[in-house]
A and B are shown apart, each in its own frame.
Chain A
């Protein structure tokens, strides 16, 4: 019986107007998105090749990942060139950022955006009238008048409905992925393929969350128009409101100075230290005669002390800021995780190596490299040019990603699925089909 229900549901969907319009929309969007983002990746690669030629001992840069075609995330931030000096780490953004400021106004239309925003809406549109729509047309009453158990009916409807929704999505993604992988500019290794597979799997689970939610709303309402309205309302809250509000809310809870403020404080310390050094030098210049050589030695010792203190103060400022910032990110992540869209964004960007975890990891690596460079004395290694420290960075592997907290986001999505489906199941068991 379950098979018949699934078959009926798939056929019913395939013949509906809703199916045609949603499939046309999602297929066009997925293909356009992959093509547009592929071109964007090619531009980013060209830009990287130009910047790489200039990178050397003090300039570090990593190449854009081909997975950024599907999930751009923070890849633009990750692929900036970091310039290291004693004062800190700078970014020559003006030379690598796009000159088109309009990019600041709109979002990158990558596959993550298509799945997160548009396909989640499509999933709800597929599910909003599964139960209440059938009740309105009177077919639900007739179906249940047979020897058919409600659990089988709802499982069959979920499976049939979700299958008919997800299959065209897979075909479109497959077409797009084939186009990308066959192009000469893209070099994807096994790790990348595994990451892409994991991303698509999490995308399916995310869409299942919204499908289950649509089903739950359908089981709680008796008119499809009411169900649709509530579905859209809930969708707007989960996809836009909570993730976007969570970010601002976290800033209210964690007090953190602006980057400009931090920069100014660092500059103040640097200038103050230099002032002291200049004063010291002046005093040293005034010291004349062999008898006062000891004073000169003292002065040099003080110079070292001042430099060390200056560096320590700046490091302390940086550390304090970074601790606060990490707390801000944590609070923000915890608030926004109430929304499956945010959990999916964190999961997808982390899997593809363009997320917050990768950003933190890269910054840590750059800081470590800076410390190595500062400690490295060229005089000691005069004959060993080849041993000069080189910045080497590899993006996280799948295993590392899942260990870093990716698994928790994955579990959150599964939990949402279980919660919504169980809710739908319970509501349907009590549903008045008359």
Chain B
């Protein structure tokens, strides 16, 4: 009997106007969207390659022998996300923080697979299911069906399976057409892990669509008329998709206030500068004492910029490496000079210790830690609040799974830092080698860095991503269960007359 009901539900749906319109909409929008985004991906790749070449050109020709300047020249280029033909990733701050950035996406978020699933498919799902029970009651057919020897459980299951099948089929067909385009496009090279991620994304999308179908079914079992049912469905849809996720982030910002980064920095400066002033005073007095005690020897030491001992701290400038070398050499030659230099170093260390103690007592580090902690609390609060809406859960799953979300931004930053460390060691070694060969090497000397390590971005392993998305997926499944149980309870008590 279940089979018959499923077949009946499926057939009645596919000859309905809703199915035809939904099918056409799904196919056209999905294919058009994937084709346009694939072309966009190709352009992004072209731009990325051009950026790599430019960076190579800069480093090959103008790599200076100064470490800070050389490190400042290396900008790690982020390749376009491999899921770009399906989902447009979130831009990192460095991309949106430029004077010449494009603000249009702020006014109109771009159209992608996420939009198709969250807006079009969820709306279609509710339109398919809102009258599954109430509509049949209005037509009088529900009473006829129930009058036969068929349990309500079978009817509900049949309606659910038949309805969801007629909804999922156009979605899968549209996605398959899009995927076919991706697989034959030479510009897009997906490996096994990308295809696995796509399969998981499809499964998550089906969970999300089913959830809205069940929500519509549940509302239908609590409504007497399909007109009331559709209004309630749309009311819930607006709340779950358009209101809750957008409002939650702002509510969390009000509930959990964070001082701005600039304000924190100012407070830190208010602690740092007086402490620095005290330390400098201490060092200046020490210098006076040393001058009286050592006379000409200390003047010589002073002309060597104190051999670089705390010069940035003491004089607010950096001593050249030549000064450091000269002072070191002088100390090796003259034991009295060495004693003076060591004593001066001790004075500096004492001032430094006092400086650090003042900072610690005034809570300098605590301010920074507080900002970090509060921002994590606010983000988590917003994230958890938004989980009331299935939309937010699906967005987290889809974005984190495909490497187009906040997690991928963090991951990129992490790999960038790792590369930064790697490049720094390389640069230090390179500069020191060059110095060995040419002791007179100055900062304006240019190095050959053609053998430098290159940045190659590797996608985060699927295991890590799965660990992040599974709780949200669990919430989606839970929503499904709750809505189905509610629909079941509603239908058991439904008056079919």
Binding site for B on A (CB under 8 A): 17-18, 21-22, 25, 29, 32-33, 36-37, 39-40, 43, 46-47, 50-51, 54, 73-74, 76-77, 80, 82, 88-91, 93-109, 113, 117-118, 121, 125, 129, 224-226, 228-230, 232-233, 236, 240-241, 243-249, 251-252, 255, 257-265, 267-268, 271-272, 274-275, 278, 281-282, 318, 321-322, 325, 328-329, 332, 336, 342, 345-346, 349, 355-356, 359, 363, 366
If the complex has contacts A100-B379, A102-B386, A325-B102, are A245 and B247 also in contact, measured as CB distance less than 8 A? no
Give Cα distance in the complex from A189 to B91, angstroms: 36
Contact B226 A39 (CB under 8 A): no
Interface residues of B in 324-347 (CB under 8 A from A): none
Contact call B104/A363, Cβ cutoff below 8 A: no
**Chain B binding site: helix, strand, loop or mixed by DSSP?**
helix
Cα A260 to Cα B242 with chains together (Å): 33
Segment 170-212 of B: residues with Cβ below 8 Å from A: none
Beyond A89-B99, A230-B21, A252-B40, 4 additional pairs, beta carbon < 8 A: A21-B232, A50-B260, A105-B90, A264-B58
Residues of A within 8 A of B250 (CB): 36-37, 39-40, 108-109
25 A-B pairs (CB sep. < 8 Å): A17-B231, A39-B250, A43-B257, A47-B260, A54-B262, A73-B106, A73-B107, A74-B106, A89-B99, A91-B97, A98-B253, A99-B261, A100-B382, A105-B90, A107-B109, A121-B238, A233-B21, A247-B111, A260-B95, A261-B54, A272-B61, A325-B102, A332-B104, A356-B104, A359-B103
Q: How far is the CA of A22 from the CA of B238 in the complex (A)?
A: 11
Looking at the assembled complex, report how far the CB atom of A432 sits from the nearest CB atom of chain B, in whole angstroms.
19
CA of A158 to CA of B361, assembled, Å: 71
Residue of B43, B115, B127, B245 near A244 (CB, 8 A) is: B115
A359 CA to B386 CA in the complex, in Å?
31
Closest residue of chain A to B379 (Cβ to Cβ) is: A100
- Does B149 have its Cβ within 8 Å of any Cβ on chain A? no
B260–A93 CB distance below 8 A: no
The reply to whether A236 and B98 contact each other, CB–CB distance below 8 Å, is no
Determine which of B51, B110, B228, B386 lies in contact with A261 in the assembled complex, contact meaning CB atoms within 8 Å: B51
Nearest Cβ distance between residue A33 and chain B, in whole angstroms? 8
Total residues of chain B contacting the partner, CB 8 A: 97
How close is A233's CB to chain B, nearest CB, in angstroms? 6
Q: Among B25-33, B291-299, B417-425, which stretch is in contact with chain A?
A: B25-33
Given A103-B249, A104-B406, A252-B40, also A77-B235 (CB < 8 A): no
A248 in contact with B100 (CB, 8 Å): no
Q: Give the contacts of B473-489 with A (CB-CB under 8 A).
A: none
Q: In the assembly, what is the distance between CA of A318 and CA of B100, in Å?
A: 9
Q: Is the CB of A50 within 8 A of B120?
A: no
Partner of A247, one of B110, B258, B395: B110
CA distance A321 to B102 in the complex (A): 11
Give A195 to B414 CA distance when docked, in angstroms: 46
- Check B243–A109 contact: CB distance below 8 A: yes
Contact residues in A for B248 (Cβ distance below 8 Å): 106
Cβ-defined contact, B238 with A228, below 8 A:
no
A248 near B111 with CB under 8 A, answer: yes
Which chain B positions have C-beta within 8 A of A46? 260
Question: For residue B399, which residues in chain A have a CB less than 8 angstroms away from its CB?
Answer: 105
Which residues in A have their C-beta under 8 angstroms from that of B382? 100, 102
Q: Are B58 and A99 in contact (CB under 8 A)?
A: no
CB distance from B22 to the nearest CB of A (A): 8
Contact between chains at A226 and B231 (CB < 8 Å): no
Min CB–CB distance A403 → chain B (angstroms): 21
CB nearest to A105 among chain B residues = B395
Check B15 for interface membership: any CB of A closer than 8 A.
no
User: Chain A's nearest CB lies how many Å from the CB of B407?
Assistant: 10
> Do B108 and A265 have beta carbons less than 8 Å apart?
no
Bound complex: CA of A18 vs CA of B228, how far in Å?
Answer: 8
Cα(A119)–Cα(B104), bound, Å: 23
Residues of B31-52 at the interface with A, using a CB-CB cut-off of 8 Å, are 32-33, 36-37, 39-40, 43-44, 47, 50-51
How far apart sit A265 and B55, CA to CA, in the bound complex (Å)?
A: 9
B88 to chain A, nearest CB (A): 8
CB A324 to nearest CB in B, in angstroms, measures 10
B93 within 8 A of A: yes
Q: A95-B265, A113-B246, A257-B47 are in contact. Are A267 and B58 (CB under 8 A)?
A: yes
Query: Contact: B111 with A94, CB < 8 Å?
Result: no
Q: B249 contacts which of A43, A102, A236 (Cβ < 8 Å)?
A: A102
Once the chains bind, are A252 and B39 in contact (CB under 8 Å)? Answer: yes
Bound CA span A236–B62, Å: 53
- Provide the residues of chain A in CB contact with B99, threshold 8 Å: 82, 88-91, 363, 366
Cross-interface CB contact of B383 among A102, A108, A226, A275, cutoff 8 Å: A102
Cβ–Cβ contact A108 & B246, under 8 A: yes
- Cβ contact of B108, chosen from A106, A246, A257, A282, cutoff 8 A: A246
A268 contacts B97, C-beta separation under 8 Å: no
Query: B246–A93 contact, CB under 8 A?
Result: no
* Given known A94-B261, A100-B253, A105-B395, contact A264–B51 (CB-CB < 8 A): yes
A93 x B93 contact (CB < 8 A): yes
Q: Is the CB of B90 within 8 A of A104?
A: yes
The residue in chain B whose Cβ has the minimal distance to the Cβ of A223 is B17
Partner of B127, one of A93, A94, A232: A232
In Å, the complex CA distance between A94 and B96 comes to 11
Specify which chain B residues have a CB less than 8 angstroms from the CB of A318 in the assembled complex.
100
Q: Using Cβ atoms and an 8 Å threshold, which residues of chain A touch B106?
A: 73-74, 76-77
B467 contacts chain A at the CB level, 8 A cutoff: no
Flag if A240 contacts B119 (CB, 8 Å). Answer: yes
Give 5 nearest A-B pairs by CB, closest first.
A93-B97, A244-B111, A99-B375, A109-B246, A89-B99
* Whole-angstrom CA separation of A224 from B47 in the bound complex: 51
Contacts of B388 in A (CB 8 A): none
Residues of A within 8 A of B235 (CB): 21, 25
**One of A21, A36, A54, A282 near B444 (C-beta < 8 A):** A282
Q: A50-B260, A105-B406, A349-B107 are in contact. Are A100 and B234 (CB under 8 A)?
A: no
Residues of B within 8 A of A244 (CB): 108-111, 115
What is the minimal beta-carbon distance from A352 to any residue of chain B, in angstroms?
12
Contacting pair B33 A325 (CB below 8 A):
no
Chain A residue numbers with a CB within 8 Å of B379 are: 99-102
Distance in Å: Cβ of B459 to nearest Cβ of chain A = 20
Q: How far is the CB of B487 from chain A (nearest CB, A)?
A: 20
Taking the closest CB of chain A, its distance from the CB of B115, in whole angstroms, is 7
User: What residue in chain A is nearest B50 (Cβ atoms)?
Assistant: A261
In the complex, B254 has a CB within 8 A of chain A: yes
| Chain A residue nearest in CB terms to B90 | A104
Inter-chain contact B262/A50, CB cutoff 8 Å: yes
Point out which of A97, A233, A318, A325 has the most chain B C-beta atoms below 10 A from its C-beta.
A233
- Distance in Å from the Cβ of B177 to the closest Cβ of chain A? 18
Of the candidates A240, A267, A272, the one whose C-beta lies within 8 Å of that of B111 is A240
In the complex the two chains form, is A96's CB within 8 Å of B253's CB? no
Expressed in whole angstroms, the Cα–Cα distance for A107 and B54 within the complex equals: 36
Q: Which residues of B contact A103 (CB under 8 A)?
A: 249
Chain A nearest CB: distance from B249 CB in Å?
5
A264 B406 Cβ-Cβ under 8 A? no
Output the nearest chain A residue to B250 by Cβ-Cβ distance.
A36
Q: How far is the CA of A328 from the CA of B61 in the complex (A)?
A: 34
Pick the contact of B406 from A18, A74, A101, A265 — CB < 8 Å?
A101
Tell me the minimal C-beta distance from B273 to chain A in angstroms: 15
Interface residues of B in 407-459 (CB under 8 A from A): 409, 444, 446
Choose among A33, A107, A241, A322 the residue with the greatest number of B CB atoms under 10 Å from its CB: A241
Tell me, rounded to whole Å, the shortest Cβ–Cβ distance linking B369 to chain A.
13
Q: Are A259 and B101 in contact (CB under 8 A)?
A: yes
B316 at the interface (CB under 8 A from A): no
Q: Once the chains bind, are A21 and B58 in contact (CB under 8 Å)?
A: no
Which of A106, A113, A281, A363 is in CB contact (< 8 Å) with B245? A106
Q: Would you give the shortest CB distance from A226 to chain B, in whole angstroms?
A: 6
Q: Within 8 Å of chain A (Cβ to Cβ): is B266?
A: yes
User: In the bound complex, how far is the Cα of B96 from the Cα of A246, in angstroms?
Assistant: 20
Tell me whether A342 and B108 are in contact in the complex, defined as CB-CB below 8 angstroms, given that A118-B242, A229-B21, A259-B100 are known contacts: yes
The CA-CA distance from A199 to B243 in the complex, in Å, is 22
